Amino acid sequence: MDTLKEDLKKHIIEELNLEDLQVSDIDDDALLFSTEGIGLDSIDALELIVLMEKYYGIQVTNPDEGKVAFLSINTMADYIEKRKA
Amino acid sequence: MSFITVCCHINENSCFVNGETVLHKNEESPDSWFKQLYKELGIEYPKFYKMDMLSQGGFIGSEFIKRAKPDLISKYKDDEIALLFANSKSSADTDIRFKESFLEKKTPSPSLFVYTLPNIVLGEISIRNKWFGENMFAILPKFTPDFFVQYGTILLNTGSKAMLAGWLGISEGRVQVFMFLVETENTNGEKFDAENILKYSGL
Amino acid sequence: MIFIGAEEIISPLGQNMEENFLSVYENRSGISLIPHAGFNDESIHLSKIAGIPNYNKFEFLIIDILEKVLKQVDPSIVLSKKTIVIISSTKGDLDRNISNPFADSITAFVKYFELANEPIVVSNACISGVLAINAAGNFIKSGLYDHAIVLGCDVISDFVLYGFQSLFAVSAKPCAPFDVDRDGITLGEGCSAVVLSSSKEIFQKSSFQLLTGTSANDANHISGPSRTGEGLFRSVKKTLEQNHIDGNEIDFISAHGTATVFNDEMEAIAFERLEINEKPLNSLKGYFGHTLGAAGVIETAISLQMMRNNLLVKSLGYKESGTSKTLNIATENKSSELNTILKTASGFGGCNASLVIRKI
């Protein structure tokens, strides 16, 4: 699970061009879409959907599903585990 | 009467403001040339990394012009600075990358697609500065000083008091950025006409 | 005074203005379900022109429309040094040469008509058409040119369709602007033209007065509409102020109405803030789909036809209010004296533009 979270952070930084961030800057429970957290926006949310398919083979067909699943690294990791199970 | 009060040039390896060198590209650096310029600006604006090259180029030029003109933000109301940009190849570089994302990588990338319009750079500059002014992006076969004088004069006669204008030739590894500020209330510059634009542009 | 007229449209609804307006009058849509069009080979609703070759489609359309326009005006203006052609388009002929999407078509176009001046291409997302008409009017007002021909054209490509699919912005059904069940855009293709002049003598039919408007950025997000409608609000407010028009004088609003949830909501908020939300309004996207750079010109052309016929045309696809602020959307065709119309547009990059047209 921890490796999954680390990998997830690496992919997010790379795919979303968050060049000013390191893996260690992202807390597992930080809110990804809050300005207090990582400050991602609506295009980032769509790019996370692309990332889910590219690295984890998970298709998200309804962006609303993403809204709940992509709250934090923790919720994303849970979502991946559940979908893969 | 209007005057060109600041200009900024960026090519493949140098950046000049009012003709003075600001930075030469460090070939040893792991950073891209535009990232080196961003770091030279010393600002914190993480959105920069998400922009495509066209937006990055326009953004950097606008920031260097602001640095040379620190009162630019306070002097004008938020809708008095018009943006008039042009190039000849639209957003071709990013268009090619987006096409690759669906042809070769088999997933159309939303974050690339949103940059496949040349006027996005106007949005990026407006968002950064909270500017609500006039915008236009035109595609011209080549750099045309007359276009900037003719349409710029119209903008400055219909409510705008200043204009940030520029030619953003950024494609296929070539960088030909020439940006300039035109002001109506500042006489401390050169007359805003085609001859001076051509002279300053070096294009 | 700046005169505007000689409007023409080529779209799935017809090969000329008359056919297009008849279709709109009969509330027929150009949208149909196109098999295998989508990125995942799914069927997609599109408003696609049948019966013209795909090869160099953009060049074909801009030449064809100008030939049609020149039958409605003094054709000698096309050769004049005092005439400027402004082309509004987002992607030009992308499928012909992605590295230089305008050069080939426009070189051929200039040569075909032996134009005296190099055309200007306005490529400013979905406000391109309205912005181009305003620019043309301003060029005439400044005395630089006597006549201007504005051509709006965009064609459907896999590129643009897949892009909007990646944004989850493509509607599963024909688009339904301002409706409670709207769920995104339907892409369209088309080509349209209007002629502007300082002289009404060049027009064979009657012309109208163009009151040039302004553009405004909403400084909010490159692809998400402002939650307050600030840019659209400012653009319309300035357009009305600069032309000394009171909101009450507007008889009809030709809105942008793309049918995405957030765009239509943004427009409703802006119109409410401007206190013109009770004015009759329509979106023509239900007829033509979203034709991007052509949209502003197509919708201006239809607005001129509505004024010629004193007919308010139904906003196709709308059934039930789906915005937080109430709008007066045309649910049926209705005879109505239309003297002053407001045309608006909003697009990616946070841009907004507006203009006003008056009966003379």
What does pLDDT average to over chain C? 97
Residues of A in contact with B49 (CB under 8 A): 17-20
Interface test with chain B among C105, C122, C123, by most B beta carbons within 10 Å: C123
Q: Judge contact between A66 and A45, C-beta under 8 A.
A: yes
CA distance A1 to chain B (A): 27
Query: In whole angstroms, what is the distance from residue B167 CA to residue B67 CA?
Result: 19
Residues of B in contact with A53 (CB under 8 A): 107
The alpha-helical segments, DSSP class H, found in chain C are: 17-25, 57-69, 103-113, 128-141, 158-166, 230-242, 261-273, 285-288, 295-309
pLDDT at A85: 80
Q: Which residue of A has its CA nearest to B46?
A: A20
Query: In whole angstroms, what is the distance from residue A64 CA to residue A66 CA?
Result: 5
Q: Point out which residues pair with B70 in neighbouring strands.
A: none
Query: In whole angstroms, what is the distance from residue B53 CA to residue B49 CA?
Result: 10
Chains with at least 3 CB pairs less than 8 angstroms from chain A: B, C
Query: What would you report as the CA-atom Rg of chain B, rounded to the nearest whole angstrom?
Result: 17
Give the DSSP H or E segment for C84.
strand C83-88
pLDDT at C163 over 80: yes
Q: Which region, left, alpha or beta, applies to residue B165 given φ > 0 means left and ψ of -120 to 50 means alpha? A: beta
Chain B residues 132-191 with a CB less than 8 Å from chain C: 132-141, 144, 147, 150-151, 153-154, 157-159, 171-172
Using the Cβ of A54 and the Cβ atoms of chain C, whether some distance falls under 8 Å is answered with no
Q: Show Cβ contacts of residue C317 under 8 Å, excluding neighbours closer than 6 positions.
A: C29, C174, C175, C176, C177, C179, C182, C259, C285, C286
Q: Point out which residues pair with C86 in neighbouring strands.
A: C120, C150
Query: What would you report as the CA-atom Rg of chain C, rounded to the nearest whole angstrom?
Result: 19
Is A50 close to C224, i.e. CB distance below 8 A?
Answer: no
Query: In whole angstroms, what is the distance from residue B59 CA to residue B179 CA?
Result: 10
Chains with at least 3 CB pairs less than 8 angstroms from chain B: A, C
**Chain Cα centroid distance, residue C312:** 17
Q: Point out which residues pair with C356 in neighbouring strands.
A: C211, C342
**Closest to A46 (Cβ–Cβ): which among C168, C221, C222?**
C168
Is B110 close to A17, i.e. CB distance below 8 A?
Answer: no
Q: Tokens at residue C34, please?
A: 């196109």
**Closest to A46 (Cβ–Cβ): which among C167, C221, C222?**
C167
Residues of B in contact with C165 (CB under 8 A): 108
Query: In whole angstroms, what is the distance from residue C54 CA to residue C48 CA?
Result: 11
Structure confidence by residue, pLDDT tens digits, C192-223: 999 999 999 999 999 999 999 999 999 999 99
Structure confidence by residue, pLDDT tens digits, A18-64: 988 999 999 999 999 998 888 899 999 999 999 999 999 999 988 88
Is B96 close to C101, i.e. CB distance below 8 A?
Answer: no
Query: In whole angstroms, what is the distance from residue A42 CA to residue C34 CA?
Result: 29
**Chain Cα centroid distance, residue B124:** 10
Interface test with chain A among C39, C167, C168, C226, by most A beta carbons within 10 Å: C168
| Class level of CATH domain C208-358 | alpha beta
Residues of B in contact with A61 (CB under 8 A): none
Per-residue pLDDT of chain B (203 residues; tens, 9 = 90+): 899 999 999 999 999 999 999 999 999 999 999 999 999 999 999 999 999 999 999 999 999 999 999 888 899 999 999 999 999 999 999 999 999 999 998 899 999 999 999 999 999 999 999 999 999 999 999 999 999 999 999 999 999 999 999 999 999 999 999 999 999 976 689 999 999 999 999 87
Is C349 close to B130, i.e. CB distance below 8 A?
Answer: no
Q: Judge contact between C45 and C32, C-beta under 8 A.
A: yes
Residues of B in contact with C163 (CB under 8 A): 98, 108, 110, 113, 116
Query: In whole angstroms, what is the distance from residue A72 CA to residue A74 CA?
Result: 5
DSSP B67-88: HH-TTHHHHS-TTSEEEEEEES
Residues of B in contact with A52 (CB under 8 A): none
Give the closest residue to C45 by CA, choosing from C153, C166, C169. Answer: C169
Tell me the backbone φ, ψ of residue C181, rounded to 5 degrees.
-95, 15
pLDDT at A84: 84
Is A63 close to C224, i.e. CB distance below 8 A?
Answer: no
Query: In whole angstroms, what is the distance from residue B37 CA to residue C181 CA?
Result: 47
| Domain containing residue B8: CATH number | 3.40.47.10
pLDDT at C319: 97
Query: In whole angstroms, what is the distance from residue C97 CA to residue C118 CA?
Result: 20
pLDDT at A61: 86
CA dihedral C142, C84, C213, C66 (to 10 degrees): 150
Query: In whole angstroms, what is the distance from residue C137 CA to residue B195 CA?
Result: 26
pLDDT at C137: 98
Q: Show Cβ contacts of residue A44 under 8 Å, excluding neighbours closer than 6 positions.
A: A16, A32, A33, B111
Tokens 């065709």 map to which residue? C333
Q: Which domain holds residue B80?
A: 3-201
Q: Which residue of A has its CA nearest to C222?
A: A43
- What average pLDDT does this structure show over C346-351? 98
pLDDT at C352: 98
Confidence of residue C313 (pLDDT cuts 50, 70, 90): very high
Using the Cβ of B88 and the Cβ atoms of chain C, whether some distance falls under 8 Å is answered with yes
Domain ranges across chain C: 3-174+187-202, 208-358
Chain C residues 197-216 with a CB less than 8 Å from chain B: 212, 214-216
pLDDT at A64: 85
| CATH 3.40.30.10, applies to C3-174+187-202 | no
Helix (H, G, I), strand (E, B) or coil at C86: strand
Fold agreement (C3-174+187-202, C208-358): yes
pLDDT at C278: 97
How many domains are contained in chain B? 1
pLDDT at B183: 95
Is C168 close to A63, i.e. CB distance below 8 A?
Answer: yes
pLDDT at C260: 97
pLDDT at B115: 98
**Chain Cα centroid distance, residue C256:** 8
CA dihedral C335, C339, C340, C341 (to 10 degrees): 30
Exposed/middle/buried for C228, CB within 10 Å: 0-12, 13-18, 19+?
middle
Structure confidence by residue, pLDDT tens digits, C238-292: 999 999 999 999 999 999 999 999 999 999 999 999 999 999 999 999 999 999 9
Q: Judge contact between B163 and B153, C-beta under 8 A.
A: no
